[in-house]
Amino acid sequence: MRRWNGWGDSTTDYPLHESGLRFLEAKLGPLTAHPDITLEQALAKVPDSRLPSHTQITEESQERLFHARGQSLPDWIALRAGRLEAFPDGVAYPDSRQGVRELLDWAYDKGARLIAYGGGTSVVGHINPLPSKRPVLSVDMGRMNRLVKLDEISHLATFEAGVNGPAIEQQLNARGYTLGHFPQSFELSTLGGWIATRSSGQQSYYYGRIEDLFAGGEVETPGGVLELPPLPASSAGPDLRQIVLGSEGRMGIITHAAVRVRPLPEEEGFYGVFFHDWESGAAAVRQMAQSGVPVSMLRLSNPIETETTLLLSGKDSLVRWADRGLRLLAYNDQRCLLIFGVTGERRTVGQALRRARAACRAHGGLFTGQTIGKTWRKSRFLTPYLRNTLWELGVAIDTVETAVPWSRVDQTAEEMRQALHQALAAYNERAHIFTHLSHVYPDGASIYTTFLFRRAADPDELLERWQSMKAAVSQAIIRNGGTISHQHGVGRDHAPYLVAEKGTLGLEAIEAVRQSFDPKGLLNPGKLLIQGDDHVDARMA
């Protein structure tokens, strides 16, 4: 059963060994567990529904609680402290595009608001209902999970948009194909959610981001159906797919998506390389990106993340031996770990591996084979479960990410780190902060920073600390000209910063498009765009 107030399946855990606990206490200070409310206490806080009855809609309290929040740290605080500001008034589970159309028409008539719900994995507030005079309906797309068509000549697969990552791969793999989109939320997140948030998978260097994979589809909007034919290319005006990509449920509900698929790779491997320092590792990664080495993934951890990854692995004796061996070879405290992947046909995989090793060797890299890579691959979708363990020990954890040109990577990463430390220091608390380059491009890279800090006993104080840190690091990103989101979307938490990237005129253009699809402002208000949303209730009253 899925956790109602944490990540993933309740039968899956990520234990923290005693050495890992000692490491965290050395970094943060003594840890104290704080009690959370029970499921029964949370259910008692769910108010009566304001929705008229409908055959597709359940008003059952547990379903409404499960759809009230996503996976951001503020969501966890609200759920575990019982301080949710709003609940959906009902949850619908359509199993066809006709069912979605019926719900849209009904909501348009009744003045209800709708929130499209995929896997519930948002970490920036995409799916949260906001306080409203109007009833709110969560539209869970999970029953629309089928492979509708596979065009093996064109390598196009059409899915219903509620299909999650494992179901996509299971249905494609059975026919000899893969989509190859593997975000860390792969276990739960959905195709429609990936498109609506411009998701990026861990091997996007080879398979492409979701905008490269999304060929077309269908979107049900209050104004009608938006059909996007899956053409290989077109010069017939603006590409309407770009309106849907990153639209976060504001323009309509994605019901079907045609995606570009590939035959299953003949070979795939993940490898580890240690560098003496961050500068040499980044230079090697940049060289590979700019010279077109055909790897499938490049992930470079800074010294703190490298140390943290090893110490939290629980393999104490192996870590000690590895540390001893690395130091004998002069890979000391500033060492950085690169994990890279090679994927594809045997011939191209061999070529990619040789070129990648040569680039790493040119910058002092120590190739260590597949042991580290296999360990990473085995745990890459398990790692989010560590959030549950840390929370129960008294540790809060969150991430922030951006993308900048190569010329600003080092400065931006350092200013992000300083901003987080300084914001928390105002509360006389310490943070443990580490960073990796999660995706790279010829002209720049994505900076992905994780920060851990002690939970406060008072949920309001914990939320205040997070808000201070989030604001400080977001402002540091904006100062350095970075995107406010490389792969997590905008949602609620990033919306105030979007103007720095899009400009006032750009936001007005997006808002004008939104109004053409949803003139009553019924779809997911308060997300992505915030101008005008505060007045939706007044307009509809």
Per-residue pLDDT tens for 31-40?
Answer: 999 999 999 9
N-to-C CA span, the chain: 40
Between CA 288 and CA 445 the distance in angstroms is 12
Q: Which residues of the chain have pLDDT under 70?
A: 531-541
Which amino acid is it at 289? A
Q: Is 63 helix (H, G, I), strand (E, B) or coil?
A: helix
Burial of 48 (0-12, 13-18, 19+ CB in 10 A): exposed
Q: Does any domain span residue 25?
A: no
Token match 């490269």: residue? 212
Query: Quick one: tokens of 530?
Result: 């915030």
Query: Quick one: tokens of 75?
Result: 């969501």
Q: Does any domain span residue 311?
A: yes
Between CA 262 and CA 201 the distance in angstroms is 15
Q: Does any domain span residue 461?
A: no
Q: How many CB atoms lie within 10 A of CB 133?
A: 11
Q: Does any domain span residue 294?
A: yes
H-type helices in 118-175, by residue range? 165-173
The CATH number linked to 360 is 3.30.70.3450
Burial of 47 (0-12, 13-18, 19+ CB in 10 A): exposed
Q: What are the backbone dihedrals phi and psi of residue 218, each rounded to the nearest 5 degrees, phi first?
A: -135, 140
Query: Quick one: tokens of 491?
Result: 């949602």
pLDDT of the residue at 536: 42
Which residues form the domain of 297? 267-380
Q: Does any domain span residue 232?
A: no
Between CA 163 and CA 160 the distance in angstroms is 6
Within the chain, how many helices (H) and strands (E) appear? 20, 18
Q: Are 377 and 249 in contact (CB under 8 A)?
A: no
Q: What is the CA radius of gyration of the chain?
A: 23
Q: Which H helix or E strand runs over 113? A: strand 113-117
Burial of 115 (0-12, 13-18, 19+ CB in 10 A): buried
pLDDT of the residue at 541: 32
Q: Are 179 and 261 in contact (CB under 8 A)?
A: yes
Query: Quick one: tokens of 391?
Result: 């929370």
Q: Are 278 and 336 in contact (CB under 8 A)?
A: yes
- Of 260, 292, 262, whose CA–CA distance to 441 is shortest? 292
If phi over 0 gives left and psi between -120 and 50 gives alpha, with beta otherwise, what is residue 330? left
Q: Does any domain span residue 410?
A: no
Between CA 185 and CA 203 the distance in angstroms is 13
If phi over 0 gives left and psi between -120 and 50 gives alpha, with beta otherwise, what is residue 30? beta
- Of 200, 228, 202, whose CA–CA distance to 212 is shortest? 200
Name the DSSP class of 164.
Answer: B
Between CA 102 and CA 108 the distance in angstroms is 10
Q: Does any domain span residue 363?
A: yes
Query: Quick one: tokens of 86?
Result: 């709003």
Q: Is 47 helix (H, G, I), strand (E, B) or coil?
A: coil
pTM of the model: 0.95
Q: Are 442 and 429 in contact (CB under 8 A)?
A: no
Token match 């499960």: residue? 66
pLDDT of the residue at 310: 86
Query: Quick one: tokens of 218?
Result: 């269908």
| One-character DSSP codes across 420-476 | HHHHHHTTT--EEEEEEEEEEETTEEEEEEEEEEEPPSSHHHHHHHHHHHHHHHHHH
pLDDT of the residue at 534: 44
pLDDT of the residue at 130: 95
pLDDT of the residue at 85: 94
How far is the CA of 253 from the CAs of 89, 97, 243, in angstroms?
19, 10, 12
Give the bridge partners for 156, in sequence order. 151, 260
| Orientation of helix 18-28 relative to helix 386-393, angle to 10° | 60
Number of domains in the chain: 1
Q: Does any domain span residue 276?
A: yes
Q: Are 479 and 414 in contact (CB under 8 A)?
A: no
- CA–chain centroid gap for 469, Å, is 19
